[in-house]
A = this chain, B = another copy of it.
Amino acid sequence: MHDTSPHIVALAGGVGGARMAAGLTQVWPGERLTVAVNIGDDFDHLGLRICPDLDTVVYTLAGVGDAARGWGLAGETYAAFEAMKRLGGPDWFLLGDKDLATHILRTDALRRGQSLTDFTAAMAASLGVGARILPVSDAPVATLLHTDEGLLAFQDYFVGRQAAPKVRSVVFEGAQNAQPSPQLLRALASGALQGVVICPSNPFVSVAPILAIPGVRAAIENSRGPKIAISPIIGGQAIKGPAAKMMDELGLERSAVGVAEYYRGLVDIFVLHETDADLCSRVSALGMKPLVADTILSSDAARAALARTIEAAL
C-alpha cells in the first residue's frame, strides 16, 4: 500500500494530534494515513500498561472518543474506579470502565509477547479504524521532567501535579536504545510519500519524544515531500495543556514563532492560526513557508478543512 498509493505520515501526541489525524483521514483515508504516536507518556499503573496518546488517537479516529474532553471514551462509566477507591486503591489517575478494557487486554497481550505495534493495530482494526496507528517504537520510552520540584515521571507531573511544577528540561528515558518502528521507517522512505505532518501537539513532550527515537528525525529529513508543522500555540496560548507555560520555563519565546524556531531545520511549511497572521514574516525569516489557517480543531468540519489546506500546500 505505502509503496504505491500517495500517502502521508503524521506525528501525533494526544488530543491535538488525534484531532488533526481525524481531519487527515478525510483526505487520506485508510492506510494512506500513517500516524506515528508518542509513547513517552506511557506508564504502568496498578500493573496495567497505559498508553494515553495511542488510546486517544485510536479512540478519536474510531469515533468513540469523548469529543468534549478530547481523551477517553464517550459514555464512559467509572464503576471499577469507584470500587478501587473504596478498597483503598489510588485515585489520582482516572480510569474509565471501558478504557480499562483496553489497558487489561494490552497488558495481557504485551505479557504474552505481542508487540505494542501489533496490539495497537488489532485494537484499531476492532474499532474500525483504517489509518495505520504506530507507536514510534515497541520499546518503552519514558518522558521525565526535571522540574523545580525534582525529577518527575510524566504522569506524576501532568496528572498528579496538574503540570504545576516549573520544567527545567525534559529527557526521554530509554529513547536512545529504542528501535524505531520499521513500519514508520518504511512509510517515511516510500517514494509515494506526499509529506509529513507534525500535528499541533506539545512540541516538548509529545513531538520531541517521537523525534528522539534514533533514526526517526533523519528518516523524516530524508523523506519525500514537504514537512508541515501546525502550531499548537495560538495568540501566545496553548490550545490545551502546558505547552505555553513550558515555553516560558524553557526560555523560549511563548508564541507560534517560538514553536517554529524549535522546528527549524526540520519543517518546510509552518501553519499559524489566523490570529497570528502578523507573525508570518518572522516564520519566513526562519526559512519556512508560513501558512495561515483555522487551526482550532474543535469540529469535524474544521479538521477536514485544515487537512484540505495541508493537501493543497503539498
Q: Which residues of A contact B (CB under 8 A)?
A: 46-48, 73, 76-77, 79-84, 86-89, 96-102, 104-105, 107-108, 111, 122-123, 126-127
Contacts and interface: CB of A to CB of B under 8 A. Distances in A.
Given A122-B88, A126-B88, A47 B107 contact: yes
Contact of A102 (B83, B105, B107): B83
Nearest to A119: B87
14 contacts: A46-B104, A46-B105, A48-B104, A73-B83, A80-B80, A80-B97, A80-B98, A80-B101, A82-B98, A82-B101, A86-B127, A89-B104, A89-B105, A97-B100
A46 B88 CA distance: 23
Given A86-B127, A105-B89, A126-B87, A47 B80 contact: no
Contacts of A97: 77, 79-80, 83, 97, 100
A98 B82 CA distance: 8
A110 to B, nearest CB: 9
A126 B82 CA distance: 13
Determine which residue in A89, A104, A107 has the highest number of CB atoms from chain B within 10 A of its CB, and name it.
A104
Contacts of A111: 47
Q: Is the interface of A mostly helix, strand, loop or mixed?
A: helix
Given A46-B108, A77-B77, A100 B102 contact: no
Nearest to A102: B87
A59 to B, nearest CB: 11
Contact of A89 (B80, B86, B99, B101): B101
A74 to B, nearest CB: 12
Most buried by B among A101, A102, A123, A127: A101
Given A77-B79, A84-B101, 18 more contacts: A47-B104, A77-B77, A77-B97, A79-B96, A79-B97, A80-B98, A80-B100, A80-B101, A80-B104, A83-B100, A86-B127, A87-B101, A87-B102, A87-B123, A87-B127, A89-B104, A89-B105, A100-B100
A270 B239 CA distance: 73
Nearest to A84: B101
Given A77-B79, A79-B77, A97-B77, A47 B84 contact: no
A98 B83 contact: yes
Contacts of A79: 76-77, 79, 96-98, 101
Nearest to A77: B79
Contacts of A102: 83, 87
Contact of A108 (B47, B96, B126): B47
Nearest to A76: B79
A101 to B, nearest CB: 3
Nearest to A107: B47
A140 to B, nearest CB: 17
A104 to B, nearest CB: 5
